[in-house]
């Protein structure tokens, strides 16, 4: 109780500072109401800490307070970033940035605020006229030759949230050394008086259609089989933006590719930060795809595709030979797209030996088999597209990027943008559907053929939620226990390799040797590999109170008719592995 009383005292003192004339009337009224409320929960949640500017920027619930997304926390983040840009690019006659936003409540307001703060600091701002997909912001930074960019988005988080993503001159989200340098500059903003809120309109240029056209033209250049689209231009494609930013650009891109039968879900074409037709605007959740599936059944569609609110992630539902619609998971989406890009490049005689692909360490190893079977180099990287972008940057001028992705429904088919892109991914997914149809296959059969040729795999992600301070301690204890006493076997197969990214050691349990992993930094991730090819990755979430387990099992199938038996066996093995892990 004493701790609670002490915390409440600290929080009240902190909140009282927000009653000064430095803050606007609306904010002061909200803080006053929290201070006077009988229940102090909202006050504590809003002020018990400062909303942290992490390596990806800010993300939090909107509202008044130091731990909330509001004009003051967004202003401080922008002032800190502006200070660092002026330091990092001191030799340039003019520093320029791009500012974009999604459809969320307050996103336009925050974007205009960001533009004002940058311009007040003498920085040239290209501000999108309205909401745009996140990957288009990344493209615009490169296209306009800017030094940085900011996108106001909370991706697929619930409607109460908003966020702030910072980008560097290559169009990628920020990594070392810039991330820590920006964080220290943001932390140095100690007072609202340090923030230059009053913008310079002469420094702000509104952008829109010219960037849209350039982006769509570049995406059309990724198409590898325009002839197959001509033959199947009337493929029935249901698309939903789930109330998000993809509503305009994705149908335009599909039309640009040559598809003439794009079927909308009208209720979900309405841009809205309230996401009124779904519990969660996340295309990996079956419930978010329910309306699109109903529409597909109505029109007998060949393919269902979706994008999340900021249109960087893709969801897909395919129809099998029995007419059933099946949600394909993130691993399968990445696998299908990479398989097509590799196989089609090979068919076209475009492979010269310097091509490469990228996947994250928790994404399926079947992709590695596909790459090996096509003699294409594959890089593994940490979770997050900034790491895929980092590989592209390192390979600039020495290799040709074919594509990269992660199991969390993100894919990037191009190097002219440097963040995951559902606009290009959905366009290519439709092309793949036409390509499969041209070969007399439905999507399900094409997927089964990939498994026949490269080995079967089944992947499951499990999140164990442990909220609060005790939960964080429990998660730490679990990671410590896995390191001290790793399982001897998983699903009946002995462990042969342990990779620990916390110290970058890889242990071969067969001969006792220890090698080093070639990664740019350490990360709190553990991986177990078994003799029969199973892989388990364990990592605490960086943004939520949970520990994540990624389980993947492998087997061989010789024909499509062995697929169902392999799937049944894989599900049983995953249950056995879960039991061995105690989850």
Residue 39 CB contacts under 8 Å (≥ 6 apart), including other chains: none
Query: Rounded distance, CA 186 to CA 164, Å?
Result: 13
Task: Please tell me what DSSP assigns to residue 173.
Answer: B
Judge whether 554 and 544 are in contact, CB under 8 Å.
Answer: no
What is the CB neighbour count within 10 angstroms for residue 576?
A: 16
Active site residue 155: yes
Whether the CB-CB separation of 431 and 437 falls below 8 Å is answered with: no
E-strand stretches of 90-152: 96-101, 124-128, 148-152
Cα 494 to Cα 406: distance, rounded to the nearest angstrom: 27
CA 458 to chain CA centroid, nearest Å: 22
CB 258 within 8 A of CB 280: no
Pairwise CA distance, residues 30 & 68, whole Å: 12
- Region of residue 375 (phi > 0: left; psi between -120 and 50: alpha; otherwise: beta): left
- The catalytic position among 155, 253, 307, 534 is 155
- Euclidean distance between the first and final Cα of the chain, in Å? 34
- In degrees and rounded to multiples of 5, residue 258 shows phi and psi of 115, 5
Is residue 362 within 8 Å of residue 407, measured between CB atoms?
yes
What are the phi and psi torsion angles at 500 (to 5°)? -120, 110
Which of 59, 81, 2, 68 lies closest to 30, judged by CA?
68
Residue 100 bridge partners (DSSP): 151
What is the rounded CA–CA span in Å between residue 376 and residue 341? 11
| Radius of gyration over every alpha carbon of the chain, rounded to an integer in angstroms | 25
The rounded distance, in Å, linking the Cα atoms of 27 and 20 is 10
Q: Distance between CA 405 and CA 384 in Å, rounded?
A: 9
Distance CA 260, CA 62 (A): 40
| Omega prior to 351 cis, within 30 of 0 | no
SS3 content of the chain, % helix, strand, coil (to 5): 40, 20, 35
CB 491 within 8 A of CB 533: no
DSSP 463-530: EEE--HHHHHHHHHHHHHHHHHS--SEETTEEEEEEEETTTTEEEETTT--EEE---SS--S-EEEEE
Given the DSSP bridges, would you call strands 237-240 and 262-264 parallel, antiparallel or unpaired? parallel
d(CA 241, CA 269): 6
Both tokens of 391, joined, read 């590989």
> So which residues are the catalytic ones?
155
């Amino acid at each position: 109780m004493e701790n609670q009383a002490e915390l409440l005292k600290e929080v009240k003192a902190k909140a009282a500072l927000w009653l000064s004339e430095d803050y606007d009337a609306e904010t002061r009224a909200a803080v006053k109401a929290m201070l006077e409320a009988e229940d102090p929960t909202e006050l504590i949640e809003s002020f018990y800490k400062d909303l942290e500017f992490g390596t990806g920027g800010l993300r939090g619930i909107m509202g008044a307070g130091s731990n909330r997304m509001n004009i003051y926390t967004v202003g401080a983040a922008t002032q800190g970033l502006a200070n660092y840009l002026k330091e990092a690019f001191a030799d340039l006659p003019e520093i320029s940035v791009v500012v974009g936003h999604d459809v969320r409540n307050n996103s336009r307001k925050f974007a205009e605020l960001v533009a004002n703060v940058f311009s007040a600091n003498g920085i040239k701002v290209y501000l999108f006229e309205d909401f745009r997909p996140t990957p288009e912001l990344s493209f615009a930074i490169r296209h306009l030759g800017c030094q940085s960019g900011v996108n106001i988005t909370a991706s697929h988080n619930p409607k109460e949230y908003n966020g702030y993503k910072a980008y560097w001159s290559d169009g990628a989200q920020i990594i070392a050394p810039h991330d820590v340098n920006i964080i220290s500059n943001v932390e140095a903003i100690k007072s609202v008086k340090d923030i230059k809120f009053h913008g310079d309109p002469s420094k702000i240029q509104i952008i829109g259609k010219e960037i849209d056209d350039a982006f769509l033209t570049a995406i059309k250049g990724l198409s590898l089989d325009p002839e197959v689209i001509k033959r199947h231009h009337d493929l029935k494609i249901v698309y939903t933006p789930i109330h998000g930013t993809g509503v305009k650009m994705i149908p335009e891109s599909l039309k640009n590719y040559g598809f003439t039968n794009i079927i909308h879900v009208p209720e979900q074409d309405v841009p809205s930060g309230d996401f009124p037709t779904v519990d969660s605007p996340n295309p990996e959740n079956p419930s978010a795809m329910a309306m699109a599936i109903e529409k597909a059944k109505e029109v007998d569609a060949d393919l269902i595709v979706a994008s999340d609110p900021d249109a960087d992630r893709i969801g897909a539902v395919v129809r099998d030979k029995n007419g059933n619609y099946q949600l394909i998971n993130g691993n399968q989406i990445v696998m299908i797209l990479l398989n097509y890009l590799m196989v089609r490049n090979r068919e076209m005689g475009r492979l010269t030996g310097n091509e490469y692909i990228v996947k994250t360490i928790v994404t399926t190893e079947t992709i590695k088999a596909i790459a090996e079977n096509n003699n294409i180099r594959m890089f593994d990287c940490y979770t997050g597209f900034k790491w895929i972008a980092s590989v592209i940057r390192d390979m600039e001028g020495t290799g040709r990027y074919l594509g990269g992705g992660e199991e969390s429904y993100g894919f990037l088919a191009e190097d002219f943008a440097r963040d995951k892109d559902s606009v290009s991914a959905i366009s290519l997914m439709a092309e793949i559907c036409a390509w499969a149809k041209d070969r007399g296959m439905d999507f399900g059969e094409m997927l089964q053929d990939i498994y026949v040729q490269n080995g079967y795999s089944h992947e499951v992600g499990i999140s164990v939620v442990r909220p609060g301070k005790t939960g964080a301690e429990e998660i730490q204890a679990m990671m410590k226990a896995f390191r001290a006493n790793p399982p001897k076997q998983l699903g009946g197969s002995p462990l042969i390799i342990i990779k620990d990214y916390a110290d970058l050691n890889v242990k071969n349990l067969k001969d006792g040797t220890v090698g080093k992993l070639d990664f740019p930094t350490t990360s709190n991730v553990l991986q177990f590999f078994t003799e029969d090819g199973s892989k388990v990755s364990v990592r605490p979430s960086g943004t939520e109170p949970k520990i994540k387990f990624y389980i993947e099992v492998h087997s061989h199938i010789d024909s499509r008719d062995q697929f169902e038996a392999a799937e049944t066996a894989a599900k049983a093995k995953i249950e056995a592995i879960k039991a061995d892990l105690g989850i």
